[in-house]
Amino acid sequence: MISNQTMLVGRFWQHVFTKQDAAAVLLKNPNPKTEFITTVAGPMGGGGVIVVKPREYVDLPWKQVGEIVAEMIVTLQKNGVKRGDRVAILSWNCPEWVWTDIAIQTLGAVAVPIYPNSASDAVNYIVNDCGATLLIGDDVSQTKKVHADSPVKTLLFSDLAGKSETYQWRVKGVERKELPGLIIDHEPVKVSDEAKAVLGFLHVGSAAGPLTSDKNVAFMEVAAPGEQPQGIRMSDICTMIYTSGSTGQPKGVALTNGNITASCEGVHDHGFDFNESDVYLSYLPLAHCYERINGQYICLWNAVPTAFCKVEEVGKVVKIIRPTILLGVPQVWRKIKEKIEAEIAAAKGFKAKLIKWAFKQESGFSRWIADKLVFRTIRAGLGGRLRIMGSGGAAISAEVISFYKSIGLNIVQGYGLTETCGAIAANSPSSNKVGTVGKVIPGVEIKFVPLPGAASDAKGGIIYLKGGPVCSGYWNLPEDNAKSFDTDGWFNTGDIGHLDEDDCLVITGRAKRLFKTEGGKYVAPEKVEKAFDGSAIIQAIVPVGNDRPFIGALIFVNALAAKELLTAKGVACPAGSAESVQTFLAGHDLVKEAIKAAITEGNTRLEHWETVKKVEIIADEATVANGLLTATLKIRTEEAMKRYADRIEAIYFKPGK
């Protein structure tokens, strides 16, 4: 009989019943001005009462999380959700997002996340494509994105968990009627009879394993009242994640319980020993597989307490909760780096001299002194306890990794896709080879198919993958499945790479994006992009040059770096809208000179046929809101090339022609 601990939802409920008083979530205190009263035991049978000042974040134990999720399950059942149904989640990161996900899967239904900043048309495309019966959002601004004539029902998190007294008290901060103005810590709360029945059923299954002799069943779902559970198998779909992509309509990647289990176990066994003593901060979109699977799911699997915040709150929250694990995308790591560098540049006098000296100390006693006097303080700005820092979603430059290493922090880069449950290769905290994405995780096979026309001795080729974390296909897209999977089940990633002498995977480009210049030279745009990743003045670069005489690029200006440059030169930025300021920055001669210098410097990392010969500076900032960035902050290259087609033509325009 398969243990229910081999499935994520089973692991969750195991934690609820075996780690009842341990912290599951770090909640933003809903009553920051409310004092807590608790009793303490004293010597000789005495005791007393302590009035505790509120903390900014408070622990929510597994037992109470289980009570909330049980009430959510009851509400979902009353709204007709049953095994196999697709239920969409449209929300920013918060505990309710994760609890809803677990509640859906406990019913044997399929959770379908949608990016919270998605437009109405995108939301309706996804709910229609997957056949969702219900969409759950964090507020009305999200649920009203569903067309009024759509058959899809909508609910809010507050509807889903609203009948839970635990939720109202601990999460929303509703005052207890017994003592207005005060909250009694650990005061028993009422759980509805229906939720108690759900908890009772799950507790029996958690203690005894699946209530069936079917060896293929790993978890018994909560069935509707009066019905018998059929059992959830590892091969059953538990979530459908729509690829964000940079072109075309998103595709629903159908992931099974087995895929999720293989990913969680493989990443853990690869050297990422997440455990209960860790603290994780979730801020990247949970609709993306990187945050949801490689972050949140692995934390749920290993009972890691998690806090949630918005991207713009990270700088503040890391100092409060002091996480030990933090994931990021290259643009986030670069922005943090630039902020630290700006603070260093602002130092004066002896402090400035001390910092300059510290960065020159590479080893030995002097490095130890430098760490105590300088780098420990810098790390404190990120909480001071980080032990695992992951980077994914796109390639990160060696320069950025080197900077963090210089201050005593180790960023490890990984590689994966939505179709592979995120990371299938990664450097680890104990083995980090910069310039690679590390070794392939346990349970994954890799092979390389040579590119058309490649030399017989060429290294690597197009990356194909097979194994537990790799999905079996896209939702209702048989033609795409036939193109992406060969007859032996190998998945064509479309990425180009090779294994180095240490069996570490090196990603060199994307097969579909390869340029071929008029001179017959192949150029990987990713390599060009990466060459300029360490340049502060460049927010994003879009290389162009397919069937052209040379490589050119569209350049988006980093407003923060440009403002700092002009301020240092005594130039004041005019007041006005963000758009007018961006236009001013992009057109200023000092900014143009800085970009020219950055291009010259970045070109030194490229072969001569790959170097950027001419650029067009774009006056717009690339943002998620204007459609130029994906939700994971990657430039939408196809959209940029389409939107600024005239600027691309200007790169290759020859007067008199």
The residue to which tokens 């059942």 are assigned = 77
312: tokens are 């713009």
Which range is least confidently modeled, 20-24, 38-42, 196-200, 651-655? 38-42
N-terminal to C-terminal alpha carbon distance within the chain = 76
Helix ranges restricted to H, 111-243:
120-130, 140-143, 157-161, 165-166, 193-208
DSSP string computed for 553-566? EEEEE-HHHHHHHH
Average pLDDT over residues 352-367: 94
Please choose, from the candidates 80, 32, 79, the residue with its C-alpha nearest in 3D space to the C-alpha of residue 56.
32
Is the domain of 467 the same as that of 569? Answer: no
Range 346-352 average pLDDT: 93
* Domain final residue, candidates 209, 233, 257: 233
User: Which pairs with CB-CB distance under 8 Å and at least 24 residues apart come from 180-186?
Assistant: 181/34, 182/34, 182/35, 182/36, 182/37, 183/31, 183/34, 183/36, 183/37, 184/36, 184/37, 184/38, 185/36, 185/37, 185/38, 185/52, 186/38
Question: Distance between CA 43 and CA 301 in Å, rounded?
Answer: 40
The mean pLDDT of the chain is 89
Q: Are residues 368 and 449 in the same domain?
A: yes
Check residues 601 and 186 and name the one with the higher pLDDT: 601
Rounded CA-CA distance 654/657 in Å is 6
Query: Looking at the domain assignment, is residue 242 inside a domain?
Result: no
Q: Are residues 224 and 340 in the same domain?
A: no
| 556 and 504 fall within a common domain | no
Lowest-confidence region among 146-150, 207-211, 498-502: 207-211
How many domains does the chain divide into? 3
Both tokens of 416, joined, read 């994966």
Q: Last residue of a domain, which of 466, 496, 511? A: 511
Element (H, E) at 350: helix 349-359
Please tell me whether residue 373 adopts helix, strand or coil conformation: helix
> 180 and 110, same structural domain?
yes
526 falls in which pLDDT band (50, 70, 90)?
confident
CB-hemisphere CA count at 13 Å for 225?
Answer: 13
Q: At 59, which helix (H) or strand (E)?
A: strand 57-61
Q: Are residues 337 and 193 in the same domain?
A: no
Helix H, strand E, coil C: the string for 496-508 is: EEEECCCCCEEEE
Element (H, E) at 290: helix 289-291
Q: Is the pLDDT of residue 417 over 80?
A: yes
pLDDT confidence tier of residue 511, bands split at 50, 70 and 90 = confident
Cβ pair 491, 416 in contact under 8 A: no
Name, in order, each residue with C-beta under 8 angstroms of 30's C-beta and a sequence gap of 6 or more: 170, 171, 172, 173
DSSP, collapsed to helix, strand or coil, labels residue 315 as helix
Give domain status of residue 334, yes or no: yes
User: 4: pLDDT confidence band, cut at 50, 70 and 90?
Assistant: low
Task: Quote the CA–CA distance of 378 and 409 in Å, as a whole number.
Answer: 10
pLDDT at 2: 41
Ramachandran assignment for 548, one of left (phi > 0), alpha (psi -120 to 50 degrees), beta (any other): beta
pLDDT at 38: 60
pLDDT tens column, 280-308: 999 999 999 999 999 999 999 999 999 99
Q: What CATH number did the domain enclosing 605 receive?
A: 3.30.300.30
> Does residue 55 or residue 139 have the better pLDDT?
139
List all residues 6 or more positions away from 184 whose beta carbon is below 8 Å from its beta carbon.
Answer: 36, 37, 38, 176, 178
The answer to the question of residue 245 being in a domain is no
| Range of the structural domain that residue 379 is part of | 297-511
Question: Who's near 589: CB < 8 A, 6+ residues apart?
Answer: none
| Residue-level pLDDT at 47 | 60
Q: What's the CATH code of the domain at 452?
A: 3.40.50.12780
Q: Span 23-45, mean pLDDT?
A: 74
Write the pLDDT tens digit of every residue in 156-205.
999 999 999 999 989 998 876 644 444 555 567 789 999 999 999 999 76
Give the model's pLDDT for residue 508: 86
pLDDT of residue 180: 47
Residue in 62, 236, 227, 75 with CA at minimum distance from that of residue 157: 75
Confidence band of 45 (pLDDT split at 50, 70, 90)? low
CA nearest neighbour of 67 among 170, 155, 158 = 170
pLDDT of 324 over the 90 cut: yes
Say whether pLDDT at 475 is over 80. Answer: yes
What pLDDT does residue 247 have?
Answer: 47
pTM of the model: 0.83
Paired strand residues for 459:
none
Residue 258 domain-assigned?
Answer: no
> Where a domain ends, among 471, 487, 511?
511
The CATH number that applies at residue 150 is 3.40.50.980
Q: Classify residue 253: in a domain, yes or no.
A: no
